[in-house]
Amino acid sequence: MRAKTMDGREIDLRQEELDSFKKRLRGPVIAPGEAGYAESRAVWNSMIDKKPALVARCLGTADVIACVQFASEHRLLLCIKGGGHNIAGLAAADDALMLDMSLMRGVWVDPQRKVAHAQAGCLLGDVDRETQVHGLAAVLGFVSLTGITGLTLGGGFGYLTRRWGWTSDTVLGIDVVTADARLVRASSDENADLFWGLRGGGGNFGVVTGIDYEVHPVGPEVVGGVVAWPAAAAPAVLELYRTLAAKAPPELTLVALMRPAPPAPWLPKDMHGKPIVALLACHSGDPAEGEKLVAPIKSFGTPIGDVLVRRPYEQMQSLLDATQPKGRRYYWKSEYLSSIEPALCEKVIAHAARIPSPHSAVVLFQIEGALNRLEEEHSPVGNRDARYVLNVAGSWEQAAEDGANIDWVRGTWNDMKSFSTGGTYVNFLTEDEGPERIAAALGKGRRRLAEVKAKWDPQNVFRTNRNIKPA
């Protein structure tokens, strides 16, 4: 079987080598053409079409260790798939050995210590499901099908970020198999340099097998959902967003977006496909207080749909899932903002009016709060001046439409990037981003990351990521 080495050479793996590798694993090892290969290699963004030489579906830490040993014996290129949601498709690489972590989805919650231990193949919804049994929640993202590991290693933000910071700020410990195939614990008092690097440095330092999150009392009921108006109301609605967001307590997270109306049952049929403006809200504190805080949204103007209600937290966490299905074509450009300026809102409205696809959107996420109170050097995520995230999110069906959609995303972003803090979110970077944008995402921690990389992965075994060259 043909495979690629770390340094790009092609090699042949002999059948007996493959057979002995398979025997070292509990989980299945799958070659191209075999059952399960197509599913494992596919990532969320169908713009990416990579074909690994071999997929190892790890069933536990011992399988991960066996994979890293085998890769090291043959100097094989390795790639690691968590949820496969990275827009740049970093989970997959041509002719590599792919470690597919998706069979490792256990979650254990200690309600006394308020800690959840999650295996590295978990999706966000797996962790929410188990933590909510105890009325607890970890700080995770907005779409329940996203992988926890890629999200956490790059920072992570969601409805609870305003209260407790980036997801990575809430991590207590990480179990990781290093380049020399050792299982190592990284926490503030064990291998603290590695722990620092992992909380923003992505998959550069090893294969994560499990993460301990600090969890907080949330739900089971929150006040959350969406209210939508026709795009003609956008100037007033975005002004409402600006003023409400500026005074919202950390329990309340507000998101504004403009897009063509999706064919959702809560929106009138004659509005489907027509341009709308919407406010998404989640209040994770006392529901009675939440209802008071979102009342000005619900009573504003003449909405065409309103599903901003008391609902289970778990339901809130999956509310957006249907808008981001696996297998469409996606292209994003994103920036951190320190405030929402009226001039930015004007640009949002102008560019949303030219969206070429029924699925694309311009989105403003509010994240200010706890993350701004930590030092820039707390972790490599940095960007402690970020208060909002702008995402120009292109999404469409056919390859023939790539040009028009990518042009719209780039044009919109070009016209808005002057509002940026200068920083951008590493987990939202597309495949075509160069060193300048990666530098903008990793910020001031780059030199220290290179030192941590040199200590823990001097040969750069873990390179199919936003790669940090060893110092």
Q: Work out how close the CB of 274 gets to ligand FAD at its nearest, in angstroms, rounded to a whole number.
A: 23
DSSP-based three-state secondary structure for 398: coil
DSSP-based three-state secondary structure for 225: strand
Kindly tell me which residue out of 4, 81, 117, 446 binds ligand FAD, with binding defined by CB under 6 A: 81
Establish if 82 lies at the interface with ligand FAD (CB under 6 A): yes
Establish if 97 lies at the interface with ligand FAD (CB under 6 A): no
**Which window, 105-113, 156-164, 220-228, 409-417, contacts ligand FAD (CB under 6 A)?**
156-164
Q: How far apart are CA 168 and CA 427, in angstroms?
A: 13
Q: Over the Cα atoms of the chain, what is R_g?
A: 22
**Which window, 8-16, 78-86, 228-236, 350-358, contacts ligand FAD (CB under 6 A)?**
78-86
- Written as six digits, the tokens of 281 are 């809200």
Establish if 465 lies at the interface with ligand FAD (CB under 6 A): yes
Q: Between the CA of residue 369 and those of 157, 159, 388, 426, what are the distances in Å?
A: 12, 12, 10, 20
Kindly tell me which residue out of 21, 142, 195, 456 binds ligand FAD, with binding defined by CB under 6 A: 142
Angle at which helices 61-74 and 15-23 pack, to 10 degrees?
160
Q: Work out how close the CB of 167 gets to ligand FAD at its nearest, in angstroms, rounded to a whole number.
A: 7
Establish if 83 lies at the interface with ligand FAD (CB under 6 A): yes
Kindly tell me which residue out of 207, 231, 248, 282 binds ligand FAD, with binding defined by CB under 6 A: 207
Residues paired with 389 in a beta bridge: 336, 365
**Which window, 8-16, 137-145, 271-279, 398-406, contacts ligand FAD (CB under 6 A)?**
137-145
Q: Work out how close the CB of 295 gets to ligand FAD at its nearest, in angstroms, rounded to a whole number.
A: 26
**Beta-strand pair 207-214/305-306:** unpaired
Q: How far apart are CA 26 and CA 154, in angstroms?
A: 29
Longest dimension (CA), the chain: 71
Residue 394 · residue 405 · CB < 8 Å: yes
**Which window, 74-82, 254-262, 379-387, 437-445, contacts ligand FAD (CB under 6 A)?**
74-82
- Written as six digits, the tokens of 88 are 């740049």
Run of H or E including 287: helix 287-298
What is the chain's percent helix, strand, coil content, to nearest 5? Answer: 35, 25, 40
Q: Residue 34 — left, alpha, or beta (φ > 0 → left; ψ -120 to 50 → alpha)?
A: beta
Establish if 313 lies at the interface with ligand FAD (CB under 6 A): no
Q: How far apart are CA 174 and CA 470, in angstroms?
A: 21
Establish if 156 lies at the interface with ligand FAD (CB under 6 A): yes
Q: Work out how close the CB of 233 gets to ligand FAD at its nearest, in angstroms, rounded to a whole number.
A: 26
DSSP-based three-state secondary structure for 107: strand
Kindly tell me which residue out of 315, 324, 372, 467 binds ligand FAD, with binding defined by CB under 6 A: 324
How many residues interact with ligand FAD (rule CB under 6 A)?
35
Nearer to ligand FAD, 92 or 238 (CB): 92
Q: Between the CA of residue 349 and those of 233, 236, 238, what are the distances in Å?
A: 10, 11, 9
Footprint of ligand FAD on residues 13-52 (CB under 6 A)?
A: 43-44
Kindly tell me which residue out of 91, 107, 261, 468 binds ligand FAD, with binding defined by CB under 6 A: 91
Footprint of ligand FAD on residues 185-204 (CB under 6 A)?
A: 202-203
Residues near ligand FAD (CB under 6 A) are 43-44, 80-87, 90-91, 101, 120, 141-143, 146-147, 149-151, 153-154, 156-158, 202-203, 207-208, 324, 427, 464-465
